[in-house]
Amino acid sequence: MSESNSFFKRSIKSVFSIFLTQTKVSKMERFSEDFVLIEMTGTKLKEAKWIPGSKVQVDVGNLTYRTYTPISVDKNEGKLSFLAYQRNDGPASTWIQSLKVGDPCEVFGPRESLDFSNLTEDAILFGDETSFGIAKVLQNKVGKKSHLFLELTSPEVEKKALDPLGVTGQRLVERSLDGSHLQTIAKEMFDLISKIPDAKIFLTGRASSIQQVRTYLKNSGIPTNRLKVRAYWADGKKGLD
């Protein structure tokens, strides 16, 4: 990192330090090679204004922040936990690989992203490996009224994270090289929406996949204002929400 860039980051951190929460890693549980459940503890978390579906941004080193979905926040104990996915060899994956219990960490949030706080009806969620956390939160909120459609590189392998997380009843579809699996998912989602017309619809995960599913649903007559979208990553881009 250049000296000027480092100075800029330090300046930004100084300005926003009032919003940062000092925590330490209090527990780690590795579900598979790519997934680890991380628990953080911090006194300021006792004041956290958390709603199901919110996000937290974590300093993964060198003032580089990555966004995760808290699965739970315990205000009494000052704890939060989230599932981290090592998607590539970027800063977040490097941080996860070196992380150990007792390490200090700064977080920004929890703060607004998706809002499941008043959700009582059926909900349909599309996503991928980066959506496991939000899928767990949704299922915690509405139970069997949650309908999960996940595109995965290896459904059999990824179930090693979904099973201990307690996510059940999901539709797992393996990615195809030509992307045709997305049309399969979108069609199944539309068929379900036809049966549950009042269901809430959430599209998460990879930006390009979201766009294809969104386009199919739109062309099938689903108004775009019914689709709540959160892109967690995109090819060639870093640090998305």
* Residue 106 sits in the same domain as residue 13: yes
* Residue 147 sits in the same domain as residue 46: no
Along the chain (241 residues), what's the average pLDDT of each consecutive run of 10 residues?
Answer: 50 53 95 94 91 94 90 94 87 92 94 94 97 97 96 91 92 95 98 97 97 97 96 82 67
Q: What is the pLDDT of residues 136-185, one digit of tens each?
A: 999 999 999 999 999 999 998 899 899 999 999 899 999 999 999 999 99
pLDDT in the model for residue 127? 98
Q: How far is CA 19 from CA 14, 48, 57, in A?
A: 10, 11, 11
Is residue 62 included in any domain, yes or no? Answer: yes
* Residue 31 sits in the same domain as residue 101: yes
* Residue 164 sits in the same domain as residue 220: yes
**Domain end call among 80, 111, 142:** 111
Is residue 135 included in any domain, yes or no? Answer: yes
- What secondary structure does DSSP assign to 87-118, as a single string? -SSSHHHHHHHH--TT-EEEEEEEE-SS--TT
Look up the CATH number of the domain holding residue 181. Answer: 3.40.50.80
Is residue 35 included in any domain, yes or no? Answer: yes
Q: How far is CA 219 from CA 36, 186, 228, in A?
A: 38, 11, 17
Six-digit token pair at 104? 């200090």
Domain extent for 94? 3-111
